[in-house]
Amino acid sequence: MSSKKFRCDDPTESCPLSVSKEIVDPTPDWKCPCNNPHCETFREPIKVTETRGFKSAIKGIFALLVVALIALGAYRFITADRCEGKLNSIHESLEQLSSEVGSLETAIAASQSTQGNQAAIAELQQGVGALASAANGALAAKDDEKVAALQAQASEFEKQLQHLQQKASQPLQTDELRTQAGQLVQSLQQLEETTQTTQQESACDTHGVDYDNLTESVRAEMARASKLARGNDDTQGRDSDKQQLMVIGESLTGIQQSLNAYVPLPPVLFDASEATMRIVTVDTLGVRLLQPLILAQLTDVEIQTDGSSSYVRSGEEKILITTTSVDQAFTLLAEGKADLLIVNRPPSEAELAQLGPDFKESRSVAEVIALDAMTLLAHPETELETYHINDNANLITANGELNELVKSLAQRWGLQPITVDGSTTETAVLLDKSVIGLGAYHAESRNIRAKRLAVQATKDTRPLKPSPFTIATEDYPFTYRVVAWTPQSPSQNALDFVQFATSDKGQSTVADCGFVDLRLRPMQGSVDPRILAALGEALGEDIKSALRISTNLRFATGKSDLDLKAQADLERLPKFVAANYPKHQLVILGFTDSTGGADINIPLSKERAQTVVDELLKSNVDTKAAGLGSEFPIDTNETEAGKARNRRAEVWVVKP
């Protein structure tokens, strides 16, 4: 409601109201204080809204504040709700991009994976190893159905191998995958910009931390995508896969060739009771040595194998070869069930006793026909060069054809290998750099890929690798003999076979089979000055060079009696020297074990050498004797076997 309020505007300021400038709200009986009859002339009307008092004003102000607060809350609610929606939208975009990054990681891992391949390769390797063992058993048993099943299994392994080889040869990361990773980086950069812009435009204090966390999450995903775009090619792992697959492939090919070469046998060539000669042997000697020797000795030979027995027919000759265990071999000879026994270890005293009270080891019943050795193989990249006997090494054998032979040889020298899957020891060591594999010299190819380790018997002996010379001299510690045994009253067929096996043609066949033959050969190289001095002393002149011949003539304990091989070598020497060194002189250099001092051993070593000289002089071979006592040991003097190896005489050729 409006009133007729006014302010006095008297220019003469005669009225006190014109001076105070106060607003007047006249009542009906109000009068001007200056009694100016013209007061109304100077009144300036004032329009003022009536507030109904102070309390009303307070209430009005409070009401306005309430309305303002409600409006502000509503604004913030609307703003917060809008921020929440924008955050959710950005979260959804981030989740989608994160999912795409994860999918791309999986795709790239699959394209360059070595871990996935390694598991499959390990499984394939194990399967092929088991296949090798099963194939050996099926082929030995002549099991037609089993062989057919294994042929099918080998074909499946071949498919798996080809698949893994194809994966190992594929590009580690394709351009398409890297391009996708780069596109994801760009999308995440845009999302980061969107997040920051939205936060600034929204000016929302409530979700400030949420925006910051979201930005960090976007950046983390961006780092993942950037790493994928840069790439991380694992070429080393892929090369390792290829190497493993190549070795597995070689093993599988060998197994398939053996299985595919299998031909079911017809009925046996003759009944066992019709055999004109029965040969008993052990391990793989029947197939790897006896059959080739018989093929070289006889004509028009037919050979049929049935399990552990082989039937050989040549005209009227019918030879039955039976493979048995090493423990049973001498028993079968003692029981009269063998005309000839071919074994790769010496008999025990108990086994000799089985053969009769007068039976003893002599050339009348035994003859060395070949030499072989247990070898130690390692990965070609290993730094290991020498194996020290009694080392606590990680020794293994492969569960292939030679497993039983190698295990029995290892047991002979106190070694305890672990059997692993694999067709050959060489294959096994090519797959594992941490192991040392035990093998057989005769079974290893001339182009062997594994590294042959030198063997050192003691700290006082030289490390030696297996070779035709170190095996022929039996200096290599793990050398063993292949010996033919007959009863005390041998058959003519048995004698004929032994005579052929030790002939030049027979020994050539022995060498062709991978064994070391008995034919003598020289070794050229530097000679220790102490040996040259001993040789010169024997000849009474200074010498600067000499050749050692590939034999060691060994003696029994405390005696000058030569052993089997030494007696045979003594028969070979005159013919060998006459054919190759007619103008040279021989010096027999004797050695002893460490029992006793130099005052005993040097004369004893020369005495033993003189025994050999006396025999050679009977064949008109110009020979001298020398002795070096217990010097230059080739084995330990802590065991009887080691001492026996150290008691020896070397044969040297010197040109005056």
DSSP 8-state secondary structure symbol assigned to residue 419: E
Asked, for residue 517, whether it belongs to a domain, the answer is no
Do 162 and 237 share a domain, yes or no? yes
Confidence label for 478 from pLDDT (cuts 50, 70 and 90):
very high
Q: Please determine, for residue 72, whether its predicted confidence score (pLDDT) is greater than 70.
A: no
Residues 474 and 499 in one domain: no
Query: 62 lies in a domain?
Result: no
Q: Is the domain of 231 the same as that of 298?
A: no
Same domain, yes or no: 249 and 301: no
Residue from 327, 381, 368 nearest 471 by CA: 368
User: Which amino acid makes up residue 170?
Assistant: Q
Whether 577 and 621 have beta carbons less than 8 Å apart is answered as yes
How far is 544 from 42, CA to CA, in rounded Å? 156
Q: What is the per-residue pLDDT across 142-151, written as a single tens digit (0 to 9) for each?
A: 888 899 999 9
The residue with greater pLDDT, 563 or 83, is 563
SS3 assignment for 3-66: CCEEEECCCCCCCHHHHHCCEECCCCCCCCCCCCCCHHHHEEEECCCCCCCHHHHHHHHHHHHH
Looking at residue 77, what is its pLDDT? 47
470 and 572 within one domain: no
CATH classification at residue 420: 3.40.190.10
Q: Which of 333, 257, 260, 321 is nearest to 288 (CA)?
A: 321
Residue 51's pLDDT is: 46
Is 302 inside any structural domain? yes
What is the C-alpha separation between 52 and 54, in angstroms, rounded?
A: 7
Asked if 304 and 406 sit in the same domain, the reply is no
pLDDT of 330 strictly over 80 = yes
Q: Using CA of residue 360, residue 362, residue 365, residue 371, what is the dihedral sign?
A: positive
Same domain, 240 and 380: no
Do 282 and 249 lie in one domain? The reply is no
Average pLDDT rounded to a whole number, residues 192-214: 76
- pTM of the shown model: 0.63
Identify which of 621, 551, 566, 558 has the alpha carbon closest to the alpha carbon of residue 593: 558
Tell me whether residue 20 is in a domain. yes
Would you say residue 181 lies in a domain? Answer: yes
- Count Cβ atoms below 10 Å from residue 327 Cβ, excluding itself: 11
Residue 101 has pLDDT above 70, yes or no: yes
pLDDT bin (cut points 50, 70, 90) of residue 75 is very low
Residue at 599: amino acid letter? D
Percent of the chain with pLDDT over 70: 89
d(Cα 443, Cα 19) in Å, to the nearest integer? 137
Which residue from 584, 592, 590 is spatially nearest to 623, judged by alpha carbons?
584
CATH code: domain of residue 353: 3.40.190
Cα angle for residues 412, 414, 415 (degrees, 5° grid): 105
> Is 105 a domain residue?
no
The residues that bridge with 454 in the sheet, in sequence order, are 386
Q: How far apart are alpha carbons 560 and 555 in whole angstroms?
A: 6
pLDDT digits (tens, 9 = 90+) for 484-496: 999 999 999 999 9
Q: What is the residue-averaged pLDDT of the chain?
A: 87
Mean per-residue pLDDT, 217-246: 80
Residue type at 588 in one-letter notation: I
Q: Does residue 589 share a domain with residue 558?
A: yes
The answer to whether the CB of 647 falls within 8 A of the CB of 555 is: yes
Greater model confidence, 193 or 633:
633
Q: Is 111 exposed, middle or buried (0-12, 13-18, 19+ CB in 10 A)?
A: middle
542 or 501, greater pLDDT:
501
Q: Cα(613)–Cα(325) distance, rounded to whole angstroms?
A: 41
Q: Which of 260, 284, 300 is the last residue of a domain?
A: 260
State the residue range of the domain holding 600: 522-654
| Element holding 92 (H helix, E strand) | helix 54-112
Asked if residue 496 and residue 361 are part of one domain, the reply reads: yes
pLDDT band at 114 (very low <50, low <70, confident <90, very high): low
Of all residues in the chain, what percent carry a pLDDT higher than 90?
Answer: 59
pLDDT tens-digit readout, 523-557: 988 999 999 999 999 999 999 899 999 999 987 65
Q: Are 562 and 554 in contact (CB under 8 A)?
A: yes
* Residue range 628-649: mean pLDDT, rounded: 93
Residue 7 has pLDDT above 70, yes or no: yes
Clarify whether residues 605 and 620 are in a common domain: yes
Domain count, the chain: 5
Helix (H, G, I), strand (E, B) or coil at 173: coil
* Residue 102 belongs to some domain of the structure: no
Q: How far apart are CA 435 and CA 420, in angstroms?
A: 11
Per-residue pLDDT, averaged over 36-55, amounts to 66
Confidence band of 63 (pLDDT split at 50, 70, 90): low
**What long-range pairs does 12-21 form, CB within 8 A, spacing at least 24?**
15/39, 15/42, 18/42
333 and 457 part of one domain: no
Three-class SS of residue 367?
Answer: strand
Residue at 495 is within a domain: yes
